[in-house]
Amino acid sequence: VVGVAELLPIGAFSRAVLISPKTLRDYHEAGLLTPAVVDPRTGYRGYRPAQLGEAAVIRELWALDVPLAEITQVLRARHPDVTRAVLTAHQERVREQAERLRRITSTLDDLLADPAAVTRLAVLERDQPSLPVLAIRGNVAESGWSAFLDDSYNRLLAELACLGLAPAGPVGAMFPGDQFSDEPVEVVAFVPTTDLLPDPVGRLERPVRRDDPDTPTAGAPRPRVLPAGRVAVATFVGPYTELSAGYRAVGAWLAGRQLTTAGPVVETYLVGPESGLPETEYRTEIAWPVREGDAA
Amino acid sequence: VVGVAELLPIGAFSRAVLISPKTLRDYHEAGLLTPAVVDPRTGYRGYRPAQLGEAAVIRELWALDVPLAEITQVLRARHPDVTRAVLTAHQERVREQAERLRRITSTLDDLLADPAAVTRLAVLERDQPSLPVLAIRGNVAESGWSAFLDDSYNRLLAELACLGLAPAGPVGAMFPGDQFSDEPVEVVAFVPTTDLLPDPVGRLERPVRRDDPDTPTAGAPRPRVLPAGRVAVATFVGPYTELSAGYRAVGAWLAGRQLTTAGPVVETYLVGPESGLPETEYRTEIAWPVREGDAA
DNA sequence: TTGCTCCTCACGTCACGTGAGGTGGC
DNA sequence: TTGCTCCTCACGTCACGTGAGGTGGC
């Protein structure tokens, strides 16, 4: 047969697989798709026809947003089990992204109904990531909350300082969301940290109850992770004595869309006494978990 | 009042609005959020309490994936109309992204049912973007397709060369998808290009029928844009005489999921005679539009 | 004086696109 | 010899994070 080529130069290969020459060179360098031949003198790359199939696989998986590192795994292994594992993990990621976007459209719908709310910033829904903290738990009635929190933050910050760490964010507290008697309730004072594992045998170990590894022993700073989830959030501006107005706002918002709460409230003290600002400038974020999938 | 600060240093401001100091500095440089005071000697930034609200707006819109440039617009204008316009445009983008991800999960589901198909690469669904081309239209019976296409590609490539342009991808052709008699049918031979506007008064102007601006005059190269849409795609490997096997594969795939076709088929000649490869290595992509929203 | 905060570069991210400047092959 | 292809840098993208190395303020 006359004129039958065995190798495609990068341009012809590029047009055949709809991948730019630059990208093919990058794939070469990354070890994703190595040309069959590289001329040692000129550096010219030559691709075999059999590599067209491989490139098509790359192209298709790439079009499905599969990261190149994982496409590499699929091609290296060439085994359905590996392919399945990669695609399953990827499917999960894509589903999460889609769910996030669905929620964004929902929030955008709300904001579009009242664009001025963007700069007023009343109540918004938000996905709260999980938050590693150092925490002190206590059983305290409402009249004692303030003193309990003051004391706890002093101890938590001192403990962190001892460990040579800085807080990863403003301090906060978690309260039961469904109970407003004057009985003592479980209150958790926390300071965010990125550097501690919530490990009951970690370096913060104190005499703890082994049978209850996930709850900080009352009075002892313990690493903990506040759970992720969907929350309704309002930022209240003003002194702590008026914070209940913020709760009323969130409550009205929840009721207005027939949402129910699903767990303890988290208050985060974005601007507090330590700022030196007057009390009228204090800012407290109120984040109340809402039941997943409740949305209108 | 003693000890009341009017300015927050960047660290305190950062903790209050949950935006990192580095990001605040970037926002300063970008003109998104300029500190009220910058010490001319030390460069220290000072933020006023009133700026906490502005930062909160940035934070919330950022959490909704609004690009910083558009957040800037919202803050500069401080007007509900601008906010609404920005959010509406953004909403549309987010919806498109979500729709794309939904389709990806659907394709991933298919691939997971048969992971070996990834390396076999049978039939896949895909979103085809719109494609600007230079095209020649003809009314040709099946027996004349080959000669018509050969002739057309010669003329199209010559025309492009005259204009000092190179093809933006492999050549292809469009055929009616719903008609397989031996009657003459409308066939469009095309070569992709990025540089021509599908403008009837563009520089490619020939004597054309003004009453039919969107259809290339038979025999004359005309700029055109192939429409975007959802397509079922198969890449057939082998000589053109056996291409019908590729169509059978796509047809069976469509039937298997009760999809119906919705327009003309596009064949793209990824590897053809110009490659110098033997006919058994020819690769032809068959892309058949499917009706939107038909998916199982 | 000691920590702590703040400052300004500089570089990495991810998968490319887009030149600049130069060489090889028909 | 003329075009065309191919080569290797280098830089930009987007909104940051993560240092390095140095200074200011209580």
Structure letter (DSSP) for residue A228: P
The rounded distance, in Å, linking the Cα atoms of B38 and B25 is 11
Cα torsion angle, B59, B63, B64, B69, sign:
positive
Given CB atoms, is A161 within the 8 Å cutoff of chain B?
no
Triad B182, B186, B188: Cα angle to 5°: 125
pLDDT tens per residue across all 296 residues of chain A: 334 558 889 998 998 888 999 999 999 998 999 999 999 999 999 999 888 888 988 988 998 999 999 999 999 888 889 999 999 999 999 998 998 898 889 888 888 888 877 776 667 777 788 888 889 999 888 888 888 998 899 888 888 877 777 788 889 999 887 666 677 888 999 998 875 554 433 333 333 333 344 444 457 888 888 888 888 888 888 888 888 888 877 877 777 777 777 788 999 998 888 888 888 888 899 998 887 654 44
Structure letter (DSSP) for residue B234: E
For residue B195, the model assigns a pLDDT of: 57
The rounded distance, in Å, linking the Cα atoms of A228 and A93 is 16
Given CB atoms, is A60 within the 8 Å cutoff of chain B?
yes
Distance from CA of B58 to the nearest CA of A (A): 9
> Could you report the per-residue pLDDT of B166-209, keeping only the tens digit for each?
788 889 999 887 666 677 888 999 998 875 554 333 333 333 33
Cβ-contact B163, B103 below 8 angstroms: no
DSSP reduced 3-state for A206? coil
B235 vs A contacts (CB less than 8 Å): 56
**Maximum distance among all Cα pairs of chain A, rounded to whole angstroms:** 95
CA distances from A155 to A112, A152, A190, A191, B69 (A): 45, 5, 10, 10, 43
A57 vs B contacts (CB less than 8 Å): 118-119, 121
Structure letter (DSSP) for residue A211: T
CB B26 under 7 Å to nucleic chain D: yes
Q: With CB atoms and an 8 Å threshold, state whether B91 touches A83.
A: no
> Which secondary structure element, helix H or strand E, spans residue A177, and what is its range?
none
Q: With CB atoms and an 8 Å threshold, state whether A64 touches B283.
A: no
Residues 197-256 of A with CB under 7 A from strand D: none
Closest CA to A12 of B279, B278, B239, B275: B275
Q: Which residue out of B2, B268, B275 would a mutagenesis test of the A interface target, given it has the greatest number of A Cβ atoms within 10 Å?
A: B275
Closest CA to A275 of B290, B6, B104, B170: B6
Query: Based on the number of CB atoms within 10 Å of its own CB, is B123 exposed (0-12), middle (13-18) or buried (19 or more)?
Result: buried
